[in-house]
């Protein structure tokens, strides 16, 4: 069992209270690590260190291209330890090993992308009048807080931390108490680079303790949070007390809209992958299937057959679907399946799975539910498991209405050979990302990602995320 410590102000430290939390492998329930149960005083120490580092000349004098060198060095360390990191991510989250590798590869790409961007964040000049030069610069905001969810830790840490450091900020990461292991490795990489103390800090602990203290800290200048709507609202309220901007990436109930003229085999593969990745524990999972009524029976038959072929097992055994993270989340998924038995029709799945040698893991069969009322909880609330709900439509306008019928708006997939129809829908769907005849576009490191409505606000990934971590200053110079 690994005994993890927090990384604060260039030192590896225990929690001030001395207590620890166990970290379990979701695949089999075994305790694989312990972490310090950080409290408000530990968060304060980390934020104070980050503030000192931001104000210190040794960090301010690091040139933009040198910040790029730092990020590229992190990418190289990730690449060198790719096998170890993929296994850690698989053990920590429970996801199949192949998906662990994909997450590490995405993390490498994030650090490389923002390494290249570090010296390319430009300002502007504004023509005013003769004798006056007016220019705009983008400056770092200061101390950035990064509250990380448990489902994609290495990816989500990498995409926000790399952008923050590229623009000259200092960082405090609060990893999820369930999945801290790759965050700990990232802290070790920053430690090896011998950056000024306090530039990168990693605190651990429960969300209601360390996370709440971090989002409410008066010296934090920007908060990035990924997680549930309920917690996101609490984070935003806490930050607003300090008049601090936030980037929120919250829940989703994302639809795949399937028309009869689609490429059937490609669409089946896309629909299945969109819901089973990480056992459906993905905010952007394609959890709603909207099928043209004339095509429904034919298409559903193929989807159900694909679901029947899926294998469930431990993450390191690299089956199609791993476990649900913990008992609390598992019970939530079961609650929705029980509701489906009462209100709809389960076409396949819906049962708990016992995996030999991993009897303490929380496994569920991938499930397809038909006959769902668009206004029901099954249609409106995140299930966060490998559960696909099915709806039908007769025409494009009905498909549009169904797609927009939830409080969420994160991702939408459109499957049709009619490109005019696809563009029409994409222009009217309330969704931060729209994929036409694909779902995910290879991880989309370069593509802005974020939601409409209760899926959050602000954008991560791509060039636009750099602006989260900068503030605009205008300077006007009179000359004779």
Average pLDDT of span 112-120: 98
Between CA 198 and CA 53 the distance in angstroms is 5
More confident site: 194 or 442: 194
Question: What's the confidence (pLDDT) of residue 480?
Answer: 85
Strands 345-348 and 367-370: antiparallel
Question: What's the confidence (pLDDT) of residue 441?
Answer: 79
Residue 192 designated active-site: no
Question: What's the confidence (pLDDT) of residue 448?
Answer: 96
180: phi then psi, degrees, rounded to nearest 5: -100, 0
30, 57, 241, 249: the active-site residue: 249
Per-residue confidence at 305, pLDDT binned at 50, 70, 90?
A: very high
CA distances from 431 to 250, 274, 393, 408, 427 (A): 13, 16, 19, 8, 9
In the chain, where are the structural domains located?
2-250+458-476, 255-444
| Statement: residue 460 has pLDDT above 90 | yes
443 contacts 196 by C-beta, under 8 angstroms = no
Structure token digits, residue 230:
């309920």
Per-residue confidence at 121, pLDDT binned at 50, 70, 90?
A: very high
Count CB atoms within 10 A of the CB of residue 162.
Answer: 28
Structure token digits, residue 394:
């007769």
Question: What's the confidence (pLDDT) of residue 1?
Answer: 85
Between CA 50 and CA 267 the distance in angstroms is 47
Question: What's the confidence (pLDDT) of residue 459?
Answer: 96
Cβ-Cβ contacts under 8 Å for 172 (sequence gap 6 or more): 43, 46, 47, 50, 143, 144, 145, 146, 201, 202, 203, 214, 220
Cβ-Cβ contacts under 8 Å for 207 (sequence gap 6 or more): 147, 174, 176, 177, 231
pLDDT in tens, 134-150: 999 999 999 999 999 99
CATH no. for 255-444? 3.40.309.10
Between CA 162 and CA 70 the distance in angstroms is 10
Q: Look up the pTM and report it.
A: 0.96
Between CA 169 and CA 190 the distance in angstroms is 14
| Statement: residue 337 has pLDDT above 90 | yes
| Statement: residue 414 has pLDDT above 80 | yes
Pick the CATH number of 2-250+458-476 from 3.40.309.10, 3.40.50.10610, 3.40.50.1970, 3.40.605.10: 3.40.605.10
């Amino acid at each position: 069992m690994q005994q993890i410590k927090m990384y604060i102000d260039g030192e590896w430290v225990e929690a001030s209270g001395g207590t620890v939390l166990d970290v379990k492998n979701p695949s089999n329930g075994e305790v694989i690590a312990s972490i310090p149960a950080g409290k408000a005083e530990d968060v304060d120490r980390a934020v104070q260190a980050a503030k000192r580092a931001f104000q210190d000349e040794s960090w301010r004098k690091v040139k933009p291209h040198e910040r790029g060198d730092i990020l590229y060095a992190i990418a190289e360390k990730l690449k060198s330890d790719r096998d170890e990191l993929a296994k850690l991510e698989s053990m920590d989250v429970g996801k199949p090993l192949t998906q662990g590798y994909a997450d590490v590869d995405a993390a490498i790409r994030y650090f490389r992308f923002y390494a290249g961007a570090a010296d390319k964040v430009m300002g502007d000049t504004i023509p005013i009048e003769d004798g006056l030069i007016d220019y705009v610069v983008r400056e770092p905001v200061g101390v950035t807080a990064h509250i990380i969810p448990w489902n994609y830790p290495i990816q989500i840490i990498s995409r926000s931390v790399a952008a923050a450091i590229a623009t000259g900020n200092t960082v405090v990461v609060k990893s999820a108490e369930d999945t801290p292991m790759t965050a700990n490795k990232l802290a070790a990489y920053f430690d090896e680079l011998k950056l000024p103390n306090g530039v990168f800090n990693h605190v651990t602990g429960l969300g209601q303790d360390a996370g709440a203290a971090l989002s409410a800290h008066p010296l934090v200048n920007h908060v990035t949070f990924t997680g549930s709507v309920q917690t996101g609202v609490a984070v935003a309220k806490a930050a607003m007390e300090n008049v601090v901007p936030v980037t929120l990436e919250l829940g989703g109930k994302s639809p795949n809209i399937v028309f009869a003229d689609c490429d059937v085999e490609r669409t089946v593969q896309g629909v299945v992958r969109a819901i089973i990745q990480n056992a459906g524990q993905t905010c952007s999972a394609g959890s709603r299937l909207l099928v043209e009524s004339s095509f429904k029976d034919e298409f559903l038959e193929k989807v159900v057959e694909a679901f029947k072929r899926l294998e469930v097992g431990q993450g390191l055994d690299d089956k199609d679907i791993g476990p649900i993270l913990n008992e609390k989340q598992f019970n939530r998924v079961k609650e929705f399946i029980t509701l489906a038995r009462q209100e709809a029709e389960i076409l396949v799945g819906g049962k708990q799975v016992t995996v030999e040698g991993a009897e303490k893991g929380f496994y569920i069969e991938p499930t397809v539910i038909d006959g769902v009322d668009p206004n029901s909880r099954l249609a409106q609330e995140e299930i966060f498991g490998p559960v696909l709900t099915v709806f039908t439509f007769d025409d494009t306008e009905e498909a549009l209405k169904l797609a927009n019928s939830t409080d969420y708006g994160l991702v939408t997939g459109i499957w049709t050979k009619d490109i005019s129809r696809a563009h029409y829908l994409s222009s009217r769907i309330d969704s931060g990302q729209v994929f036409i005849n694909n779902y995910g576009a290879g991880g989309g490191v370069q593509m802005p990602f974020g939601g409409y409505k209760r899926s959050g606000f602000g954008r991560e990934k791509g060039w636009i995320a750099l602006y989260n971590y900068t503030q605009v200053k205008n300077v006007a110079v009179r000359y004779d």
